[in-house]
Amino acid sequence: MQAKETLFADLVQGRAQQFQVPLYQRTYSWTEKHLKQLWSDILEQAQLLESEEEKASTHFLGSVVLAPSPQNEATFPRWLVVDGQQRLTTLSLALAAIRDHVADTAPDEAERINEEYLINKRKSGNDHLRLLPTQADRPQFTAHIRGPLTDQTAGSGVATAYAFFRKKLVEADDPAAPQDVFRIEQAITSRLTLVAVTAERGDNVHRIFESLNNTGLKLSQADLLRNYLFMRLTTRGEHVYETYWLPLQGSLSNDELEQLMWLQLVLDGDDRVRRQDLYAAQQKHFEERRTSEAEIEGYIRELHRRSVHFRRLLHPEEEPDLTVRAALRRLDAWQAAVTYPALMLLLDRRERGELDSSEVARAVAYIESFLVRRMICRVPTNNLNRIFQAAPGQLPLDVPVTEGLHRLLSSENRFWPDDAELRDKIRKAPFYQYGRPQQRKLVLQRLEESYGHPEPVDFTAAQLTVEHVMPQSPGDEWLRALSEETADDETAEELHALFQHTLGNLTLTAVNSELSNHPFERKQDLLRGSHLEMNRRIAATERWGVREILARADELANRAIDLWPAPLRGVGRAERSRDWQLAHQVLAALPHGTWTSYGDVAAFLGSGAQAVGNHLANTPGVAYAYRVLTSEGRVSDGFRWAAPQDAGSDDVRARLAADGVRFTSSGAADPAQRLTADDLAALLAGTDDETDGEDNAQDGTVEAPGEETRAERFFRQLTADDSPETVDAVRALFVHWEELGGWIGHGAGRVTTSAFLMLGEAGGPGRGIWPMTLYPGTGRGGTAEVVFQYLAAREPFTERSLRAELLTRLNALDGVDIPEGKLELRPNIRLSLLEKDRNREVLAQTLTWFRDRWEDRSAS
């Protein structure tokens, strides 16, 4: 191999030659972000030329790796572009834009640019192009180099890049600050340096390709495997590419294609391969079998066939059978990509004639039930990948596929809850705290549909949200009603914590925040007019308390049992100990300086406080069991160590103090350090679902003609609950945030809306960050939620020291004392504290500090 520094002009000028982008290379993918950076570099070099500082440093653009093409000729050199096609394509398009920009005013110069850099004048067909892209990009690129510009693909990267440069050249002609377009041409051709690495004919180009991938120029597993496949197709590459690969690549994104390749490995029996090991596993498979070119073609043909099945999972509307389509839509809404191996198997068996559509629909119903019942019963999801990845290879051979899948999912350690467990969890478990929001909504939607209303709701058009009938923030009237149902040593607040999040207390509604936390009589009037049958049934009851919640839970349980089939009996049931395992997990996760109560743990589990106490007293080895106290923050009179302690280590208060728990003057644990049932749920939930700000935060524009904006809704709700001084302070906070370069995103909630203090771009996950979310109080005063838990997964605040500094700065506000233990959670600050001038100043300084830390990270 030879390497040398060169310029674009030196690389492509001179005699007729061609640079071919191999079939295995990814398509052109530079975005406006890349183009803007390149344009800035080009203008900088053009300005240096204009000021005659030609000795100034040129701009290093990167490397280009070339290898002799199999079609190489002595009189017409052809080179494979192993690496650098994005740079060469972009520079060629920039020069084509310059050529077209001057075509009318300087046609001779336009022709010169064309002949020196873009075409081989005396060659025809594909040989006419000096750069020959992959087949996917070729029509667009050819149209821009040779014309005419017709039938452009919408969203084409090539067309987007060409249009970008045409626009920038028009801007460069601004009379107020004119820039010589030929200086720009000269900067591109003679001021952008490249390192050209040229391989000899005997060099293994594929190994070069792999080496580049291992040294920072990251390519996907699909890119590597595509390269490998077409390097092996020495005689039929063009035919296979046009017949199978190009349609395949057009129907799936690169990530989806990689997923399909992985699924094919799984379906072919390799049930333990990880997606990140796809390329190595498939390469090993081919080389161990000494796979021929015909077999490689067969593999790609099979990928093409199965891509039709895969698209039906990604786009259920493409499934022709109505029943199967509806079932696939529900799994798509559930975001059940983990089930793809089993679903692909079912669609493949149907195509082969081993199943009909009714059997496929029944099998998908088993899969849906498996997921839904586990979610309602709070079974951890961490083994779902393994279960479904192994399914194709573990299906029993002595029964039809549908029955085999039912048996497989019912077997021991699959933890498919039976009817009794499902009924029990619907009565007791805090449904609202488990699973993803769209999953909870889907369960309620399916239950509503089970009523068979003659005029069913269009759930895709209706803007429905999950509503607590007994509110999350109950007023005095609700608590007085609950106190009538309390047992000995039980408070109304504890009873509320036990039942507020259970399925029996939840419904769907499109009614706005007027529902909120109003008394039940007011909610009855609103629910009575609902089009949903479940809401009309709630409205028909005289009161709403624990008895009514449990009665509705039993009714919903009956419907759930009919909707979602049960596992087979006698296959081998799982133990019921996992509920306590969940308790052990959450207690082990208690941060330093926190405690919780028996009632909080009970509400988190859907159990009883006494049962929690008995279990902890009789189960040795439970981490931090001594940090479970009474609701008043005291050691229970019945507390005992489950196992003997060393002398001097059995003092509970001493152990609590050593763990950072503070005590008040009355001897009780500091209530600010207590973790509620909601806090415990958040501890185990992690940050997977913390995308509300990115996915839902919008800038407060009108949702529909005549509707109030999200911003108007937020301030209407805030004004109804907080003083004018607090509302003014929040408005001033928003103004300051926007002056810092941030923007205010508003959540989609109608019952309770929200406002996010956003930094970064709107419009997609991973683009923004926010330090806090503001909520109106719905009767108890507005709050600002500090999202430490979310920040722990976002740079630069993955560093705990930065989150700790944010906490310290917030604690400088008068009236704020967030314990360090809540750095793992999302504690609240009362918005009314912002009425103080000093607090507003401190918060403004804190937010400026936050912005600066984020920008430091972005700049680096």
Confidence of residue 278 (pLDDT cuts 50, 70, 90): confident
Does the CA dihedral 217-222-224-230 come out positive or negative? negative
Interatomic CA distance for residues 729 and 675, integer angstroms: 29
Residue 765 to residues 253, 691, 758, 850: CA-CA distances in angstroms? 18, 7, 12, 20
Q: Scan for tokens 């009996």, then name that residue.
A: 569
pLDDT above 50 (res 306): yes
Q: Which residues contact 830 (CB under 8 A, 6 or more apart)?
A: 781, 782, 783, 815
Predicted confidence (pLDDT) per residue in 120-138, tens digit: 999 999 999 999 999 889 9
| Residue matched to tokens 């030659």 | 17
The pLDDT value given to residue 678: 85
pLDDT of residue 386: 86
Q: Which of 127, 165, 163, 164 is nearest to 146 (CA)?
A: 127
- Residues of the chain above pLDDT 90, percent: 47
Return the minimum-mean-pLDDT range out of 162-176, 398-412, 493-507: 162-176
* Selected residue with higher pLDDT from 32 and 669: 669
SS3 label, residue 417? coil
Could you tell me which residues come within 8 angstroms of residue 239 by beta carbon, excluding any fewer than 6 positions away? Answer: none
* Tens of pLDDT, residues 468-500: 999 888 888 899 999 999 988 889 999 999 999
Question: What's residue 308's pLDDT?
Answer: 96
Residue 752, pLDDT > 80, answer: no
Please state, in angstroms and as integers, the Cα–Cα distance from residue 812 to each residue in 173, 726, 817, 820, following that order: 54, 19, 8, 14
Helices 578-588/677-685 angle, 10° precision: 90
Nearest to 597 by CA among 562, 640, 632: 632
Closest CA to 612 of 680, 666, 684: 680
- Locate all alpha helices (DSSP H) within 697-836, ordered by sequence: 710-721, 724-739, 788-791, 800-811
Nearest to 195 by CA among 64, 359, 365: 64
pLDDT at 421 over 90: yes
Distance CA 169, CA 181 (A): 7
Enumerate helices (H) and strands (E) in the chain, giving the number of each: 37, 16
CB neighbour burial string for 666-701, b if at least 16 within 10 angstroms, e if fewer: eeebbeebbbbbbbbbbbeeeeeebebbbebbbebe
Is the pLDDT at 702 greater than 70, yes or no? no
Cα(670)–Cα(576) distance, rounded to whole angstroms? 35
Q: Which amino acid is at 543?
A: R
pLDDT tops 50 at residue 466: yes
Q: What is the pLDDT of residue 694?
A: 39
Number of Cβ atoms within 10 Å of the Cβ of 167:
11
188, with CB counted inside 10 A (0-12, 13-18, 19+), is buried
Least confident of 109-123, 258-272, 316-330, 702-716: 702-716
pTM over 0.75: no
For the cut 80, the answer to whether the pLDDT of residue 581 exceeds it is: no
Query: What are the extents of the domains in the chain?
Result: 2-213, 221-313, 315-416, 442-563, 578-685, 692-859
Q: Which two tokens stand for residue 222?
A: 């699909």
Highest mean pLDDT among 451-465, 665-679, 788-802: 665-679
Q: CATH for 578-685, among 3.40.50.970, 2.160.20.60, 3.40.50.300, 1.10.10.10?
A: 1.10.10.10
Q: What is the average pLDDT score of the chain?
A: 86
CB 429 within 8 A of CB 378: yes
Q: How far is CA 582 from CA 11, 501, 609, in A?
A: 64, 17, 15
Longest CA–CA separation in the chain, Å: 98
Both structure tokens of 840: 């507003």
Residues 6+ apart with CB under 8 A from 36: none
* Confidence category of residue 574, pLDDT binned at 50, 70, 90: very low
CA atoms within 13 A on the CB side of 280: 5
As a whole number of angstroms, the distance between CA 118 and CA 659 comes to 71
What distance in Å separates the CA atoms of residue 235 and residue 240, rounded to the nearest whole number?
A: 10
Beta strand residue intervals within 116-168, DSSP E? 131-132
Evaluate if residue 672 carries a pLDDT over 70: yes
To which residue do tokens 């904006």 refer?
709
Instruction: Compute the distance between CA of residue 320 and CA of residue 559 in angstroms, rounded to an integer.
Output: 29
Transcribe 357-368 into DSSP letters.
HHHHHHHHHHHH
pLDDT, residue 217, reads: 44
Q: Residue 291 class from Cβ within 10 Å (0-12 exposed, 13-18 middle, 19+ buried)? A: middle
Region 835-848: what's the mean pLDDT? 96
Q: Is-contact 472 500, C-beta < 8 A?
A: yes
Average pLDDT over residues 327-332: 96
Question: How far are the Cα atoms of 321, 583, 586, 641, 674 from residue 596, in angstroms, in the given order?
Answer: 52, 12, 11, 17, 5
In angstroms, the CA 765 to CA 843 distance is: 27
Tokens of 434: 């488990």
pLDDT score at 174: 61
DSSP state of 51: T
Radius of gyration of the chain (CA): 32
Which tens digits make up the pLDDT trace of 495-552? 999 999 999 999 998 764 555 667 888 888 888 888 899 999 999 999 999 999 999 9
Nearest to 833 by CA among 818, 820, 848, 843: 843
User: Is residue 786 pLDDT above 90, yes or no?
Assistant: yes
